Chain A
């Protein structure tokens, strides 16, 4: 139906006149959404959900990667094969035929008819100077779908369908409540009978009872029309109610993709596990394992190496991508704060190269002992491979790291975590 391959979107951010840095909003996402499916995309703020959604409806061109629309299994597997083999010609040919970014002129109009988007904020997504009828009519006129009387009649039908009633046609947006506006936005998105709609946080500005009305409406539309939807939200409860499949995003990458019940009921990726455990439950005093993630979301300009989640991951281990800087940070905390009495003031610690750390005026034995003791709390220490005593300093070597990909598990879901690398090999 719609398939995205290797999508990357980097934004230029000017730090100063000289340096031009790249903010990696979306960083290598593959995604397939089947016909008639609701795909839920969750993740914290800034993880790139909206950016991905805008790329999928062609509002934003990706820095890298391609989106194919109206394709079947056959085409996507041909594309995948071509990608693997590096077959440029085949890629070119398929892209020319199916890519949403290569459509021009009339084809583009037809494409625009087939996909649309509903935005989060119902207050700024409707032009305050247009009447509802003109707002809903706009996509039909712009894509030559319908004109004049026919279009107006369809507007009235659509308004009925989203539960507003014909009388709203002549009103202006500011006379409507948030829920009513969001219905208008949905009516507009449905005007040209699209096959694919992106819903970007369609209910997060609304009250719970209004949210319920909108969600019910969307469910009805899905059943009656076989509409394919990408539902973007940070509200896990909404996704668990609506979606068929779920993708979890973190810092521009997909961490886990799979069937809703698998991912939400029995999450595998450490990030998904902590995300789900953080969701407040409407059951007071329910006893459950809560993992409160420490720290802040990552800096999207300088992403951590290896697994991007490793600085916050409660299960991280030696190969997850620890850098000498992270280890030096933790060691110097131990030396200068926690075990201050055993070390005193004279110890100095520094990075020598990518995988070597030097500590002066300390004993290897003592450091090994402390590292063993603190490993469970300070995960970075797991990456220490060897501690050797040289003549007047201690040398620490660290492990190499691996960057995880999406590994496919037995139950069909995919997880981007090294803990599951072996499982895929076995499978």
Chain B
């Protein structure tokens, strides 16, 4: 009996993998995403393996500041201040991925917290939260982020806080709608009939059931947030100095776009490819948690 049970669990996992891997584009997305993650991890824990001394600073080469085209030495060429683009992009991925992950996950946690409570409790609390999130939804992301960032001061920390503030309402709404449908399921009522307190119902029944779709949403959002983050540095909203960051890298090459297009194209491409990859991956994950897909 014991064995059969294990077999069943393995079968479930195997099925999930089969579904995910039968979606070819999702697999490509996953591979690109993994490449970014590995790069970020190496950069964090063993930068020397990638030939980088300080992962937090760009290595300027003042001897030749004009962007150079790709060559055996500089595979992706260099950008203004003589920065090697390949190395800079690899450094930047760590920062961009780390910060956008931080933003999305904190936004999701805050959003989920409020979303679950407001949907479960209903009443005036729900009403107020709805109005607040309405306000957030009424203003474009970028404008809001700029506004908040401006109010908090133009530092990287305040930028992150600004983006979290921009991002949580999205998750509030999403978990709210998820919670509303989970709340209608009879197992919630069964728990109430068994004497389980409301707090426990939210923690033990509702939160775990909102988790899979929220995780999928997180993977879909990573790309968007990274792009916004990069945009903000690109327009020079942050005092970046020599911060290896994709948006900043793009802006460095901008003055030379006529003679050295690669200097803007490659960092931009790094953002686009990432956004595309997580989107594809997210689609694949969505299939995995979709029960209709599972049964066919």
Count of chain A residues with a beta carbon within 8 Å of a chain B beta carbon = 33
In the assembled complex, B134 has its CB within 8 A of some CB on chain A: no
Closest partner residue, chain B, to A185 (CB atom): B190
Question: Closest 7 CB pairs between A and B?
Answer: A112-B195, A139-B194, A167-B1, A125-B186, A142-B195, A143-B195, A142-B196
Segment of A113-121, A239-247, A260-268, A309-317 in the binding face = A113-121
Apart from the given pairs A57-B193, A117-B189, A138-B194, 15 other A-B contacts in the complex at a CB distance below 8 Å: A59-B193, A109-B195, A112-B193, A116-B193, A116-B194, A119-B189, A126-B190, A139-B194, A139-B195, A142-B200, A143-B194, A143-B195, A185-B190, A188-B194, A192-B194
B191-206 contacts to A, CB under 8 A, are 191-197, 200, 204-205
Contact code string A106-140 (vs B, CB < 8 Å = 1, else 0): 00110011011101110011111110000000110
Tell me the bound Cα distance from A121 to B190 in angstroms: 11
In the assembled complex, B72 has its CB within 8 A of some CB on chain A: no
**In the complex, what's the smallest C-beta–C-beta distance from B223 to chain A, in angstroms?**
28
The answer to whether B185 touches A124 (Cβ under 8 A) is: yes
B168-192 contacts to A, CB under 8 A, are 185-187, 189-192
In the assembled complex, A389 has its CB within 8 A of some CB on chain B: no
**In the complex, what's the smallest C-beta–C-beta distance from A241 to chain B, in angstroms?**
25
Of A59, A109, A125, A170, which contacts B5 at CB under 8 A?
A170
In the assembled complex, A411 has its CB within 8 A of some CB on chain B: no
The answer to whether B192 touches A124 (Cβ under 8 A) is: no
27 interchain pairs, CB-CB under 8 A: A54-B189, A59-B189, A112-B194, A115-B193, A116-B194, A117-B189, A117-B193, A119-B186, A120-B186, A125-B186, A126-B190, A127-B205, A127-B208, A128-B209, A129-B209, A130-B204, A130-B205, A138-B194, A142-B191, A142-B195, A142-B196, A142-B200, A143-B195, A167-B1, A171-B5, A191-B194, A192-B194
The answer to whether A167 touches B195 (Cβ under 8 A) is: no
Q: Which of B2, B187, B205 has the most CB of A within 10 A?
A: B187
Tell me the bound Cα distance from A192 to B190 in angstroms: 14
In the assembled complex, A341 has its CB within 8 A of some CB on chain B: no
Chain B residues with CB under 8 A of A109: 195
Majority SS of interface residues in chain B? helix
Q: A167-B5, A171-B5, A171-B8 are in contact. Are A125 and B194 (CB under 8 A)?
A: no
In the assembled complex, A175 has its CB within 8 A of some CB on chain B: yes
Contact code string B75-105 (vs A, CB < 8 Å = 1, else 0): 0000000000000000000000000000000
Tell me the bound Cα distance from A245 to B193 in angstroms: 25
Question: Chain B, interface size: which category?
Answer: 20 to 34
Q: A142-B200, A171-B5, A175-B8 are in contact. Are A125 and B190 (CB under 8 A)?
A: yes
Chain B residues with CB under 8 A of A120: 186
A181-235 contacts to B, CB under 8 A, are 185, 188, 191-192
The answer to whether A167 touches B2 (Cβ under 8 A) is: yes
Chain B residues with CB under 8 A of A191: 194
The answer to whether A188 touches B195 (Cβ under 8 A) is: no
Closest partner residue, chain A, to B191 (CB atom): A138
The answer to whether B187 touches A125 (Cβ under 8 A) is: yes
Chain A residues with CB under 8 A of B5: 167, 170-171, 175
Q: A119-B189, A142-B200 are in contact. Are A113 and B209 (CB under 8 A)?
A: no
The answer to whether B187 touches A127 (Cβ under 8 A) is: yes
Chain B residues with CB under 8 A of A175: 5, 8
The answer to whether B8 touches A129 (Cβ under 8 A) is: no
The answer to whether A127 touches B195 (Cβ under 8 A) is: no
The answer to whether A113 touches B187 (Cβ under 8 A) is: no
Tell me the bound Cα distance from A128 to B190 in angstroms: 13
**In the complex, what's the smallest C-beta–C-beta distance from A177 to chain B, in angstroms?**
13
Tell me the bound Cα distance from A120 to B187 in angstroms: 11
Of A54, A119, A142, A167, which contacts B197 at CB under 8 A?
A142
Tell me the bound Cα distance from A113 to B187 in angstroms: 17
Chain B residues with CB under 8 A of A188: 190, 194
Contact code string A290-310 (vs B, CB < 8 Å = 1, else 0): 000000000000000000000
